[in-house]
Structure 1
C-alpha cells in the first residue's frame, strides 16, 4: 500500500474514535510488511485534530522534485 492509502485508513480510524495505539496494532496485524510507523499515525491524528481532513500531501518548500545537474 502507498502512503495515501494509509492516510485514508488512519483518517477512518480517527473518525471511528480509535486511539493511536489501537490503530498501530490493527495496521501491524493487517499490513505487517508495509504498515505506517508510530510517528506517521501520531502526525496524522494531530493533523485531523486541527480539522485538516485532507489526506493529500501539502505543498512544501525546499528542493525541487527534479534536479538539474550543472555541467
Structure 2
C-alpha cells in the first residue's frame, strides 16, 4: 500500500470517528501484511486534528536526495581517485553531510 492510499484510509477512519486504537485494529484485520504502525497512525491523526486533511505529500525545502546524474556518475568512474572536495566543487554542492554511495560499481 502506498503512502497516499494509507492517508486516504486513515482519513476515512478519522472522519468516521474511530480513535487510533480502533483504526490500528481495523488495519491489522483488513491489511495484515501492510498495516501501518501505531506511531504512523498517531502522527497522521494528529495532522488531521490540526486541520491538515490533505492526502498528498507535503512539499519540502532543501536539496534533493540525489545529485547523481549520468554525467556525474561518468566523471567519478573515469577518475576514481577524485577527492570528495573536488567532486563537490565540480558539482557545486556542499560537503557538510554528504555521503556518496556507489552501489552499481
TM range (shorter): 0.7 to 0.9
- Calculate the TM-score normalised by the size of structure 2: 0.61
* CA–CA distance in structure 2, aligned partners of residues 26 and 63 of structure 1: 38
Distance 1:13 1:60, change over 3 A: same
Gaps of 5+ in 1: none
The number of residues matched between the two structures is 71
- Calculate the TM-score normalised by the size of structure 1: 0.88
Runs of 4+ in 1 over 3 A off after TM superposition: none
1:22 is matched with 22
1:59 is matched with 59
- CA RMSD in angstroms comes to 1.6
Gaps of 5+ in 2: 77-105
